[in-house]
Amino acid sequence: MKDRFIPYKIYLEESEMPKYWYNVRADMKNKPAPLLNPATHEPMTASELAGVFCEELVEQELDDTTREYPIPQEIRDFYKMYRPSPLVRAYCLEEKLGTPAKIYYKFEGNNTSGSHKLNSAIAQAYYAKKQGLKGVTTETGAGQWGTALSMACSYFGLDCKVYMVKVSYEQKPFRREVMRVYGANVTPSPSDTTNVGRKILAEHPGTGGSLGCAISEAVEVAVGTPGYRYVLGSVLNQVLLHQSVIGVETKAALDKYGVTPDIIIGCAGGGSNLGGLISPFMGEKLRGEKDYRFIAVEPASCPSLTRGVFAYDFCDTGMVCPLAKMYTLGSDFIPAPNHAGGLRYHGMSPVLSQLYDDGYIEAVSVPQTKVFEAAEEFARVEGILPAPESSHAIRVAIDEALKCKETGEEKTIVFGLTGTGYFDLVAYQKFHDGIMDDYVPTDEELAAYAAKLPKI
Ligand SMILES: *Cc1c(COP(=O)(O)O)cnc(C)c1O
């Protein structure tokens, strides 16, 4: 039996909650490459970006030097309703694995949207309201971001137009209904409400849509409707900044008990939860104060870091968004439809991409079935029903803990448990029925997409 001087759940008092977001770019020697104008290939200026995004968010997007951003009081007040999120010591999982490793997870599924996305949604809605806007537009894939943004918009009395990837719209009707509870207007994408949607429908009738396509529609509506701006739930620098609240809380909680992690693990779709979780620890590593191993976990079916190219690419299918330099599989890459999790984006946060390219982060990709095995192993002892996305991190945390069992090392592992899986039970069903498939794209397929990257 391990010495249990650390509680199962480490909470912070309200007074110990973060008062600032930490901007890891301030400590990066190689800054992430600037966003480029898709027409001129020149760096996007603040005024160009302000046509698409809220003004203060544009400032945050472009600011590579301010280390700490005070969190506005209105956002801190909202955070208090569902934060601090618990940092849990996984004693039961450790015992089941028989590992000497010490495992902690930061659980972000404790709110109705069921994921970490609310941390940035409330910030983005706040700045939109402050600017006097009427509403915002966005896309959603699996539905977590749309749900989080709907909650944030209803809190601040903003209109919210969500373009939801059509397959998800049809497969996850309950997610759509939650958004409607919060007053959002949800349209399946591609739709006939935009030029880009009509074009895609004409070229690919019957398509189930994609995130890249839904982004194009949401941007077109935001740019063309007075009093509206577009907001995005991941990938962008500003989103990583807001999500740093996860890492700042985690660090404060661990510091309270004098615990220093050896390995920090997170799943990586667009990179926001992982970027947020590791930010303050990465800052210490970048400043040469401490060393940590950081591991990004992605699905084998959508392996942007492990098998993608570090290059400028479009963020959307319609090529209306700025170009970002990132690890990418190509903007028209669409992962196999049987892919269960929400980690289906073709690109990756430019901040994480740069840190990975500079050797500060490791990345692994894991097949679906192995992810669901880990999810179930975790659920059966720790109780929480994890989201498939989060279960990618569980998989690698378990693998690392099992390595410790072999070597006898007492490493401290922290992983991000980003959300709950109540809307993913069809995927769990496939897993139980043994019909989950582990499709992995071939080198030839990936090379064909890579060949179509814009030449910059
Ligand atoms: C959206 C989502 C992710 C992936 O997004 P990132 O930006 O990579 O963090 C992971 N887990 C859950 C539960 C999500 O909803």
- 226 CA to centre of ligand 1 in angstroms: 30
pLDDT in tens, 254-276: 999 999 999 999 999 999 999 99
| 28, two tokens | 């990066």
Q: What pLDDT, on a 0 to 100 scale, did the predictor assign at position 347?
A: 93
Domains of the chain: which residue ranges?
A: 9-17+71-114+236-450
CA distances from 62 to 57, 155, 351 (A): 9, 27, 12
Atom 10 (ligand 1) nearest CA? 389
Beta-carbon contacts of 245 under 8 Å, excluding residues fewer than 6 positions away, are: 18, 21, 71, 79, 83, 119, 276
Mutate to test the pocket of ligand 1, among 215, 267, 371 (most ligand atoms within 8 A of CB): 267
Q: Verify whether ligand 1 is closer than 6 Å to residue 140 (CB atom).
A: no
Q: How confident is the model at residue 212 (pLDDT cuts 50, 70, 90)?
A: confident
Q: State if residue 111 touches ligand 1 by the CB under 6 angstroms criterion.
A: no
Can you tell me the distance from the alpha carbon of 397 to that of 387, in angstroms, rounded to the nearest whole number? 15
Strand 263-267, strand 412-417: pairing:
parallel
Instruction: Give, rounded to a whole angstrom, the gap between the first and last alpha carbons of the chain.
Output: 58
Least confident window among 48-57, 117-126, 340-349, 423-432: 340-349
What does the DSSP assignment read for 391-434?
Answer: HHHHHHHHHHHHHHHHHT---EEEEEE-BB-GGGHHHHHHHHTT
Average of per-residue pLDDT across 381-409: 98
User: Residue 223: which of 245, 196, 185 has the closest Cα?
Assistant: 196
What pLDDT does residue 2 have?
Answer: 64
Q: Where are the beta strands (DSSP E) in 308-375?
A: 309-314, 323-328, 362-366
The answer to whether residues 49 and 35 touch, using CB atoms and an 8 Å cutoff, is yes
The proportion of the chain whose per-residue pLDDT surpasses 70, expressed as a percent, equals: 98
* Contact call for residues 418 and 115 (beta carbons, < 8 A): yes
14 falls in which pLDDT band (50, 70, 90)?
A: very high
Q: What integer best gives the mean pLDDT of the chain?
A: 95
- CATH 3.40.50.1100 is held by the domain 9-17+71-114+236-450: yes
Count the neighbouring beta carbons within 10 Å of the beta carbon of residue 407.
Answer: 10
Ligand 1 contacts CB of residue 342 (under 6 A):
yes
Judged against a pLDDT cut of 70, whether residue 175 lies above it is answered with: yes
- pLDDT tens digits, 310-345: 999 998 877 888 999 999 999 888 887 767 677 888
Q: Which atom of ligand 1 is nearest to the CA of 271?
A: 8
Cβ–ligand 1 contact at 243 (below 6 Å): no
DSSP string, 3-53: ---S-SEE---GGGS-SEEE-GGGG-SSPPPPPB-TTT-SBPPHHHHTTTS
Q: Which of 207-216, 257-266, 356-365 has the lowest mean pLDDT?
A: 207-216
Alpha-carbon torsion 61, 62, 65, 66, what sign?
negative
Mean pLDDT along residues 165-171: 90
Separation of alpha carbons 386 and 388, rounded Å: 6
Q: Does the bond joining 190 to the residue before it have cis omega, within 30 degrees of 0?
A: yes
Task: List all residues 6 or more positions away from 92 whose beta carbon is below 8 Å from its beta carbon.
Answer: 381, 382
CA of 2 to the centre of ligand 1 (A): 32
Pick the residue whose CA is nearest to atom 4 on ligand 1.
269
Average pLDDT of 294-318?
A: 94
What count of Cα atoms within 13 Å lies in the side-chain half-sphere of residue 89? 20
Residue 435 amino acid letter: I
CB 329 within 8 A of CB 346: yes
pLDDT band per the 50, 70, 90 thresholds, residue 28:
very high
What single DSSP character describes residue 71?
P
User: Would you say the CB of residue 322 lies under 6 angstroms from ligand 1?
Assistant: no
Indicate the top mutation candidate among 272, 344, 417 to test ligand 1's pocket, ranked by most ligand atoms within 8 A of CB: 272
Q: Are strands 87-89 and 9-10 parallel, antiparallel or unpaired?
A: antiparallel
Q: Picking from 61-65, 164-168, 315-319, which range would have the lowest pLDDT averaged per residue?
A: 315-319
**1 pLDDT above the threshold of 60:** no
